Structure 1
Amino acid sequence: MLTLPAAEPARRAGRRLAWLDALRGVAALVVVFEHALRPLLPEAHGPVKAVFDPGWYGVMVFFLVSGYIVPASLERRGSVRDFWISRVFRLYPLFGVGVAGMALLVAAGWDDAHIWWSSRPLSMALGHLTMLQNLLYVPNVVNVLWTLSYEMAFYLLLTAMFTLGAHRASLTGALGFTAVAVLGGSALPVALLSAGGAGRMLASVLAVTAVLAASLAAVLKGSAGVRRAGAVVLGATVLVLLLVNQSYPGPWQGLLILATMFAGTALYRAERGEITWGRAGWVALVPLAALWLGRDEPGLQTATAAAWITFAAGMALRRRGVPAALAWLGLVSYSVYLLHPLLLESVEWFWPEPATVPLGSRLAVLAGVVALLLGLSALTWRLVEAPAQRLGRRLVVGGEAARRPLTPGASEGPRPGAG
């Protein structure tokens, strides 16, 4: 009897947030299409991306969803400790599976490890453990992992803002990052702290790791004054990395990713009645800035516009029912995101020159890859993601919350990723 009150709110939350799962599911499939072009449809790769960049579309949809719901998780819990336990158990177990899968491909000779794994192993390993590798000039083990660096930067900034009592300044964050991107994005340096040799990279990775660990420990365990000091250092460190040490996709794109996430939070606050829709309307400057900064890349422009239109449509239809298939696809979207490059890398090894293979055969293989990916994602959700999330919930609030059903839409935040 005691489980019924807990289960019913979870089911209601699932229905209320299912539109976010649907958006994640759509974005995940579009990202798979993006990465399938080169190994299976190379003749379409250039023409498609010239008019519409599917990967960037997926990125923007994913990050709008993250910005909309992840801060709500922190604020609802009211605990930085619980928030980070939740994040760690949501992100790292499957992250480890993806890295292990790529290691198996390398061991089998189906792919090559980056040369820096032999000359800079500590920098590479630590960079990935922090999930800030893209802000530390560390090449990604799996190509899609670069987006996790911006997710992690967002989480760290949220932590700092929450600790300092500034977490409701979402609109300020969105407009601030947009302004910096527009006014200085083209002049900002790339990998200023980390480029220049193995020693310099190691020094920057070690320094950032130590500072972040110490400041997070201060936020979690310190007195009131120590927590505030730790939050200031935490936020400042992330801002410095974003301003001077990004690598891919580039300074203005990275800054607009953060602006997009904070814009998603501002829209959430408007939907909750915390700010007026009139104030929230200022977030329109974020996609407008992206369109202007991407004026030499039509494919990027159309993808940005389409992502915002998609999210707006999702919000407008959020009270309507969502097809179960889309809700399920959103539930396993993190697995779809992390695992699809491994399957496509395998295809590329077997067919190094896909243009010489009949189109019908390639389309059949694409369908097979998608089917295998969905089956594998269902398996990793059941065996890796769901058990890890249950364990995290036990650590956060004990056995009562651990008994709540994990249903589509009932999760506290979106699985990250795009490519």
Structure 2
Amino acid sequence: MSATSAPAERLYILDTLRGIAALCVVFWHWQHFFYVGNSPSDFDPTRQPFYTALAPLYQHGGLAVQLFFSISGFVFFWLFAQGVATRRVNARNFAVDRFSRLYPLHLLTFAAVGALQFVYSNSHTGFFVYPFNDAYHALLNLLLVPAWGFERGWSFNAPIWSVSVEVLLYTLFFVICLAGRWRWLLTVIAFAAGLMLYPDNYKIGSGLLCFFAGGLAYGVLCELRKWLGSGPAFLAACCIASGSWGSQIWLYDAINPTLVICLCFPATLAALAAAGLHWPGLLRSTAWVGDISYASYLLHFPLQIAFALALDGLGYARENFYSPGLMLAFFAVLIPLSLACHKWFERPVQRYLRRSRLANPRQSGTRASA
């Protein structure tokens, strides 16, 4: 079985959540428009568009990246763990599946950011937000390793850092799953390693912690469904999720990131997945938000540079980015652009690479095995 030959079900509810998380990052990064160099200047967070309604996203939207990691862990254990453990999913096709999904759009947006930053730096005193746009960091980005500890700071399309960490996580996940029945013990060890690294080693630590927390949430849900059945398992998962969020509210005056990413996020994923498995097709109509999540995540920063260049070129002050109308205009470009990118770039390139000799060395580039 190839890496794409996964269980037939699709958890549309998690796809939708992934798309919402990607948009949360955009709200979190709205502050970029008020940066001078690599830090905000004369920035009033409470003046951001729709602040009263969107305050949690402006204050805690960065946690959406950790939610990405948790969703990835849950979904990968659901789709691939058993196949890898039984050797039905081989390393080559698994790697091609991931490469074809991640690298083409990364390469495209890396080039776009490089070009836009060149234009920006020629008309400003420095780069837009992320300063390390040199040849060394270009190489790290081309190798998709800008978050492995070799970097001096944030560079180029910096949101790609989470994807860079996921490459490491996919490799570790595959190796752990090869251990067969021992994979759950190794998953607990990987989770514990992330807990020890986070938050001092923020990038790799949060990746390990959240990805394998998501995997453990999948394992717990499997046991609940095995012993209780679908409906009762959904109710039990909802109780666990409610209890985890209740603990956060009861014990802390503010958001405790460690509790949220260790307990609240994975418990919530288990509850939502239980709902999706109990009611197949739940939120099917909104799954397109998840389909474009990778595009909206990678495209939002180059689009921010383009908007900043446009307003600066027209002589408008950056204070205009406090305007709700300008935010609506930004999303009116981002969403259609992400849809178009997914339909006419991501999917065709993925199909080509997954049918190429890269995935099937005995086949020609125009033929593919089933």
- TM (norm. structure 2) is 0.69
1:19 to 7, 13, 16: 13
1:28 is aligned to 2:22: yes
2:155 to 112, 131, 140: 140
Contact map agreement 1:52 1:302 (CA 8 A) in 2? no
Q: 1:372 to 1:51 in 2, by over 3 A?
A: closer
Q: Secondary structure at the match of 2:71?
A: helix
**Could you tell me how far apart the structure 1 residues matched to 2:318 and 2:227 are?**
50
Query: Deviation digits for residues 270-327 of structure 1, max 9, x if unmatched?
Result: 445599789xx9x99xx89xx8xxx897363686466445423422321333344520
Contact map agreement 1:49 1:299 (CA 8 A) in 2? no
Q: How does 1:3-402 map to 2 (within 5 A)?
A: 13=8, 16-39=10-33, 42-44=44-46, 48=55, 52-56=59-63, 58-71=64-77, 72-73=79-80, 75-76=82-83, 77-109=88-120, 112=127, 116-118=132-134, 121=135, 123-138=136-151, 139-162=154-177, 165-166=178-179, 169-182=182-195, 184-185=196-197, 250-251=200-201, 254-272=204-222, 298=255, 300=257, 304=261, 307-308=265-266, 310-319=268-277, 320=279, 321-350=281-310, 356-357=319-320, 359=322, 362-395=323-356, 396=359
> Given residue 332 of structure 2, which amino acid in structure 1 is its aligned partner?
A
**Could you tell me how far apart the structure 1 residues matched to 2:274 and 2:284 are?**
19
Contact map agreement 1:174 1:259 (CA 8 A) in 2? no
Contact map agreement 1:64 1:260 (CA 8 A) in 2? yes
**Could you tell me how far apart the structure 2 residues matched to 1:101 and 1:35 are?**
18
How far apart are residue 148 of structure 1 and its match?
A: 1.2
Q: Secondary structure at the match of 1:298?
A: coil
Q: 1:179 to 1:143 in 2, by over 3 A?
A: same
**Could you tell me how far apart the structure 2 residues matched to 1:334 and 1:375 are?**
13
Q: Where does the alignment leave 5 or more consecutive residues of structure 1 unmatched?
A: 1-8, 187-248, 403-419
- Which deviates further from its counterpart, 171-180 or 255-264? 171-180
Q: Which residue of 2 is the match for residue 246 of structure 1?
A: none
Contact map agreement 1:52 1:299 (CA 8 A) in 2? no
Percent identity of paired positions between Structure 1 and Structure 2: 25
How far apart are residue 108 of structure 1 and its match?
A: 2.4
For the aligned residue pairs, the C-alpha RMSD in angstroms reads: 4.1
Q: Secondary structure at the match of 1:322?
A: coil
**Could you tell me how far apart the structure 1 residues matched to 2:182 and 2:351 are?**
32
Tell which has more relative contact order, 1 or 2 (C-alpha 8 A, sep 6+). Answer: 1
Query: Deviation digits for residues 331-356 of structure 1, max 9, x if unmatched?
Result: 11100100011122333345579674
- Which deviates further from its counterpart, 31-40 or 365-374? 31-40
Contact map agreement 1:176 1:259 (CA 8 A) in 2? no
Q: 1:176 to 1:363 in 2, by over 3 A?
A: same
Q: Where does the alignment leave 5 or more consecutive residues of structure 2 unmatched?
A: 35-42, 229-236
- Which deviates further from its counterpart, 23-32 or 133-142? 133-142
How far apart are residue 95 of structure 1 and its match?
A: 0.3
Q: Secondary structure at the match of 2:62?
A: helix
- TM (norm. structure 1) is 0.62
> Given residue 333 of structure 1, which amino acid in structure 2 is its aligned partner?
S
> Given residue 133 of structure 1, which amino acid in structure 2 is its aligned partner?
P
Name the one with the larger helix percent.
1
Count of matched residue pairs: 314
